[in-house]
Structures are given as structure tokens and as C-alpha cells.
Amino acid sequence: MSALSDSASPLYEKVKDFVLANIGSGKWAQNARLPSENDLVNSLGVSRMTVHRALRELTSEGHLRRVQGVGTFVAPPKAQSTLIEVSNIINEIRDRGGKHRAGVILLERVEHPAAAIVSSFEFDQTKPVDHSLVVHFENDIPVQLEERYVNPALVPHYLDQDFTSIATLEYLQRCTPLTEVEHLISAVPAGPEQARLLQMPERDSCLVLHRKTWTGATVATVNTFTHVGSRYSLGSRYRPTHKPA
Amino acid sequence: MSALSDSASPLYEKVKDFVLANIGSGKWAQNARLPSENDLVNSLGVSRMTVHRALRELTSEGHLRRVQGVGTFVAPPKAQSTLIEVSNIINEIRDRGGKHRAGVILLERVEHPAAAIVSSFEFDQTKPVDHSLVVHFENDIPVQLEERYVNPALVPHYLDQDFTSIATLEYLQRCTPLTEVEHLISAVPAGPEQARLLQMPERDSCLVLHRKTWTGATVATVNTFTHVGSRYSLGSRYRPTHKPA
DNA sequence: GAATGAAACATGTATATACATGCCATGTCA
DNA sequence: TGACATGGCATGTATATACATGTTTCATTC
């Protein structure tokens, strides 16, 4: 009668499973309209708040689309564009048990940054920019080259930190707690300096992770370049919300 | 008194903003314990259900960590590993107004796939594998090379579809509604055939997106290789939950 | 026929209440 | 001192109720 599973999970989870099952079986096709909350209340025998919570969570998870006053619809499949989790290379090395070492190549405050940097980084052109160049090693083999342009207004003592210890990324995150991030991944042939620092053949492939971060309404910007030698190819991996069967 | 903003947003949003503001300002440090729900009810003057919803959503968004019977705590910053949205190259081209064309280079059912493919793809070795090789053009310039190995048990008529029309990825999604996906991004120098098909210099950099998908408990696997010419570098971009200031 | 208005219906939010569940500290008893 | 029971407090869920807000439909009116 109730059409809900009898497992031990909470009621709103059962309602979610019920909806997902109907979507997965094709009974409710893409863009089809679901029964109204009150219909589900009557057919499933749970309160409207419970149904509402289930539908709200499924909406925030991308399975449904709801329009106030109109109805609830099956959302188009979301993997059109796919989420990927790019992991911190230092943590990856640590998880694999490798020994990590960082080498600081360059550390400077650029007073009058080039126009190209300013525009692509959305910096305030009148302000100086901090610049760092760090190489990460795993077992004495260079793995990653990090180039950063940081707005000193946002992170005052950026150049004073200890770059050879772990925490450059953590340091930035601590200074800028709630940020927005934009990434751009591309592949380029290694230039002369990059090839030298990473001890790789020139024009070999580099994975470039361009990372731009904002902090609230501040126009200030923190940037990170990450170069990954292709021989490591540990790029990124993601397994989305997994539900054990 | 109420410590909540007086904007027009709903109450639970104000509570969320209140919590986020306290985290962002550093008043509530990482791993610090938040006031209990009842404390917030008293200090903010809203009902416990409203507080609870706010805290629950912040938890699912990764800002908080809650333990039943113990309390609510500020979660460590989550950008340790970062989510990236890899967009479909065909949609990107369409959004930019470019003309898209697809060329099918190869289409075959491999009866006895090589052991390397079988193992890396987790296919059943005794079963044949469908293989396709498609080049995507934008304005007659080759942009992307797609190589796919598909389990025919999962997608019966994979080779029968019209590869020159848009929807190879959409086709797979339609056949496999609720899937898990794993991605691996790397960069490799283009091999001879890849260089020829993409009209790029050999050994120039290629962005490789390895994509592995599951469907429920089925061991069947769908795989996608995507090669992106470096001159396009339109890799991927992501802006997480953006809140307009 | 067109414009207006009201009813019907959809989702969205807020609250009070009740009970369930899990953890911890305290106190009692052996 | 140790084991165990218990009460207090935290979060988790479920419900009924009320009202808010947005959309559609349909009847009325001009």
C-alpha cells in the first residue's frame, strides 16, 4: 500500500528513494511532472513536511526542478558537465607514503606588474603583487611547479611564510576562509624554465591548473598555477555521491 | 538584538548567514563548537526547526560537522580538494556560436580485446567490446578526439547510433540513467595518430580526460577518452555555489 | 472578445509539539 | 576502585497547522 521500502532508514529517505526509483525505472521521464506534494501525501501516507523535505533535498541534489505555483519536474541528467575533485598534490604524496620536499625558487614583490598579469588576474593595476615560485618534490624528483600571484592587500604577510614547510595552500585558506574558486585546466608544452625546474624534456606536456580565488566582495584575487609533470598523471579523480546498494 | 540581517531573504537563510559570518570573521574557529540549537533559538529568536534547517543545510554544504548527542562544530576548510566542472566540449562550442561537425574515424566491435584494455577498464574479458573513435570539429578545425570503449551488454546498439549528429554523450546518459562517474585528468604528448587526426604537431601537449562510468550494481563499464588540443585550452571551469553580494 | 478578478492549486516558509536517538557525566552500588 | 544505571542534553525525525507566494484557470464584467 504505502509503496515505501520497509528498511530502517528515516521516512524522508524512503520518499527520496521512492522518487529516485520512479525516475530510474523511466516511469517518470525527463521533464515529466511529478505528483503534487498533496498527492504524494495521500498515496504514501506521510506528512506534507516529510514529502517536502524529500523533494527539496532531491532538488538541491539536482534530480528535480521545482517551480513555485507550478509543480515538480524531473530534471535533465546533470552529467552534461561533470564534477571533478582535484586533490592537493602534497596530500596525494603523503597518502602514498612518499617523502615530500619543497624548493623555493623565487620570492618577490612585484611593484609594477605587467599589464598581462594584471588583466588576466583582475588585480588592481596600481597595487604591487606578490609572486612566488615553488617546486614540490617527491623523493627528490620534482613533481609540481607552483607559481602564485597573490594580492598583498588580501594576504599581508604572504612572502614571510615558510614555503619549504607544507602549508602554502592551507595558509591561503586560513587567511581567506570563505572564498569562491574558479579553475581552468589546460595542457601546454613545457617552456625552457619549466622544463629545467621539473627536470623534464622541453616541449613535453604539462598539465596546467589555473586557479583563481575570490574572497567575498573583495576584488582582491589569489592565483595559483600548478604544473604537473605528465609522468605522474595523478591529475584528479572523483566519485560522486555514492549510495551503497 | 536579533543579530540577524533585515534583508528580504527567508529566516533560515539569515541564520545560515549569521553562522557563516561568525565562521568567516574567525569568531568561531575551525573545529570550535557552536552554540547548541536551543542556545541559538534563544539568542536569535527563531524556532528550533528553523535553526535546525539552517544548520543541516550548512552541514550538507560542508561548512559544519554535527554529531548527534554531542554538538555542532566548524568543519575544516573543504577546498583541500576542489570540485571542478568539466563541461561538454560540444556544448561549449555551441555556446560560443561555433559550427560543430563530428567525423567518425573508426567504429568496430572488438571480439577479443587486449588484456591492457580489459584490466584498465574492468571489463569482463570474455565479452566483446565496442570501440569508437570520433573527431569533433569547430569550424572545420579538429578540436577533440574521443575514443570510447563501451560494454555492449550495457548499451546494446551503441555502434548503430548516428555519431555524426550531436548526441554521443547524451546517448550514453539516456541508456544509463543513474550512474557513477570517475574521472582522471592528465597530460600527454600527442602520438602519431592523435597528431594526425587533430592536425597538431606530434609530441605537442594533449589534455586527456579519462572517464569511467558505472551503472548501479552492474559490473558493466562505459569508458570515454577525450583529447583536447592545447591550442583551445578550454579545459574546464567551475564557480561553486555563488552568492551574489 | 478582452480585461479583470477571484478561486483553486502549487510550492515555500515558520512554528509548536512530540518523540527518537546518541553521548556524556554523575552518582550509586558492589 | 570499578561496573552499571540514569538523567541531562545534544541532535534527528515526524507531524499538524498556519500563512506566504507564485501560477493557472475560469467566470464575470465591460
Cβ-based contacts of A191 with chain B (< 8 Å): none
The x, y and z cell numbers of residue B76, run together, are: 575544516
B11-74 to CATH, choices 1.10.10.10, 3.40.640.10, 3.50.50.60, 3.40.605.10: 1.10.10.10
Architecture in CATH of A89-229: 3-Layer(aba) Sandwich (3.40)
Rounded mean pLDDT of B134-150? 72
Task: Say if the Cβ atoms of A216 and B24 lie within 8 Å.
Answer: yes
Q: Quote the minimal CA–CA distance from B110 to chain A in Å.
A: 27
Confidence at residue A34, expressed as pLDDT on a 0 to 100 scale: 95
Element (H, E) at A54: helix A48-60
Average pLDDT of chain B is: 68
φ/ψ of residue A219, rounded to 5: -75, -15
Query: Which one, of B106, B152, B107, lies nearest residue B129 by Cα?
Result: B152
Same topology, domains B11-74 and B89-229? Answer is: no
Task: Say if the Cβ atoms of B179 and A81 lie within 8 Å.
Answer: no
Calpha distance B203→B161 (Å, rounded) = 33
Q: Which residue places its CA closest to the C1' of nucleotide D15?
A: A47
Range picked from A93-97, A133-137, B111-115, B166-170 for highest mean pLDDT: A133-137
Binned at pLDDT 50, 70 and 90, residue B13 comes out as very high
Query: Which one, of B75, B54, B56, lies nearest residue B64 by Cα?
Result: B75
pLDDT tens, A56-114? 999 998 889 999 999 999 987 654 445 455 555 555 555 556 566 666 666 666 655 55
Burial of B15 (0-12, 13-18, 19+ CB in 10 A): buried
Is residue B193 predicted with pLDDT exceeding 90? no
pLDDT tens, A17-26? 999 889 877 7
Q: Quote the minimal CA–CA distance from A109 to chain B in Å.
A: 26
Confidence at residue B154, expressed as pLDDT on a 0 to 100 scale: 65
More confident position, A215 or A77: A77
- 8 A C-beta contact, residue B233 and residue B157: no
Rounded mean pLDDT of B17-30? 86
The x, y and z cell numbers of residue A5, run together, are: 521500502
Task: Say if the Cβ atoms of B182 and A236 lie within 8 Å.
Answer: no
Lowest mean per-residue pLDDT among A182-186, A232-236, B87-91: A232-236
> 3-class DSSP state for residue B17?
helix
Cβ-based contacts of A186 with chain B (< 8 Å): 207, 228, 230, 233-235
Lowest mean per-residue pLDDT among A152-156, A176-180, B112-116: A176-180
Q: Which residue places its CA closest to the C1' of nucleotide C14?
A: B50
Confidence at residue A169, expressed as pLDDT on a 0 to 100 scale: 57
More confident position, B122 or A157: A157
A11-80 to CATH, choices 3.30.70.100, 1.10.10.10, 3.40.50.300, 1.10.8.100: 1.10.10.10
Binned at pLDDT 50, 70 and 90, residue A149 comes out as confident
φ/ψ of residue A237, rounded to 5: -155, 140
For chain B, which residues make up each domain, given as ranges?
11-74, 89-229
Burial of A52 (0-12, 13-18, 19+ CB in 10 A): middle
- B236 DSSP assignment: -
CB atoms within 10 A of CB B64: 21
Rounded mean pLDDT of B195-206? 75
Helical H runs in B61-165?
A: 89-96, 115-121
Q: Give, as ranges, the nucleotides of chain D with any atom within 7 Å of a protein CB.
A: 8-18, 21-24
Element (H, E) at A227: strand A218-229
